[in-house]
Amino acid sequence: MHTQSKHRFIRISEVISTTGLSRSHIYDLISKGAFPRQYKLGERASGWLESEVLAWIQSKIISADSINQSDAS
């Protein structure tokens, strides 16, 4: 079984693949404070903490579940 590290950086291609969002939408959400910001890894490299991206996804699932729960009532 693969264990996720809390401190693993992922690049934009993996963020896109993991979230299903486009590059431009990700950066738009970042500018609105609605998505985790990237970290500068080098002069020309940035990455996101995988744990922050996964937490963002989890928050979307929880939010959708609570909306679906209230719609069902």
Residue 3 resides in a domain: no
Question: How many residues does this entry show for the chain?
Answer: 73
Residue 32 resides in a domain: yes
When pLDDT is averaged across residues 46-71 and rounded to a whole number, the result is 90
When pLDDT is averaged across residues 35-43 and rounded to a whole number, the result is 98
Cβ(25)–Cβ(31) below 8 Å: no
Residue 1 resides in a domain: no
Residue 2 resides in a domain: no
Number of domains, the chain: 1
Residue 14 resides in a domain: yes
Residue 54 resides in a domain: yes
Each residue's pLDDT tens digit, 3-13: 555 689 999 99
Q: What is the pLDDT of residue 4?
A: 56
Measure CA 57 to chain center.
6
When pLDDT is averaged across residues 21-50 and rounded to a whole number, the result is 98
Residue 62 resides in a domain: yes
The boundaries of the domain holding residue 29 are 9-72
